[in-house]
Amino acid sequence: MGKRLFLLMFSAVMAACSSEEVGRASAQPPANTGKTLVAYYSYTGNCRSIVGTLTSQLAADVLEIQPAQKGQRYEANGYALGTQLLNAIKAAPDQASSYPAIDPVSTSLDDYQNIIIVTPLWWSQMAAIMQTFLFNYGPQMAGKHVGLIVSSASSSISQVVADSRRLVPDATWMGEALWINDRNRSNTATLVSEWLAKQNFQSATAESKEMNITINGQTQRVALAQNQAARALAAKLQDGPLTVTLNSSGGFEIWGPLGFSLPTSNEQIKAQPGDVVLYNGSNICLFYGSNSWSYTRLGRIEGLSEAELRSFLRVGESNISVTLSAAATPTAVGRIRGAKANDNCYTLSGQRTDRPSGGVYISNGKIRVKGGK
Q: What is the mean pLDDT of the chain?
A: 82
Q: Do 182 and 153 form a contact (C-beta atoms < 8 A)? A: yes
Buried residues in 332-348 as b, exposed as e (16+ CB within 10 A): bbbbbeeeeeeebbbeb
Nearest to 171 by CA among 225, 249, 117, 95: 117
In the chain, what percentage of residues exceed pLDDT 90? 62
Q: Residue 16's pLDDT band (boundaries 50, 70, 90)?
A: very low
- The residues that bridge with 185 in the sheet, in sequence order, are none
Domains of the chain and CATH, by start: 33-198 (3.40.50.360), 210-326 (2.40.100.20), 334-370 (no CATH)
211's CB contacts (< 8 A; 6+ apart) are 221, 222, 224, 233, 234, 237, 299, 324, 325, 326, 327
Instruction: Render pLDDT for 105-149 as a digit per residue (tens, 0 to 9).
Output: 999 898 898 999 999 999 999 999 999 999 999 988 988 899 999
Q: Kindly report the backbone phi and psi dihedral angles of residue 320, in degrees, each rounded to the nearest multiple of 5, phi listed first.
A: -80, 120
Res 62 pLDDT > 50: yes
Calpha distance 372→353 (Å, rounded)? 16
Nearest to 86 by CA among 108, 119, 49: 119
Where helices occur in 292-333 by DSSP H, the ranges are 306-312
Mean pLDDT computed over 322-335: 62
Instruction: Render pLDDT for 68-80 as a digit per residue (tens, 0 to 9).
Output: 999 999 988 888 8
Q: Residue 359's pLDDT band (boundaries 50, 70, 90)?
A: low
pLDDT of residue 190: 95
Nearest to 115 by CA among 162, 168, 67: 168
Mean pLDDT computed over 312-327: 94
Give the chain's length: 373
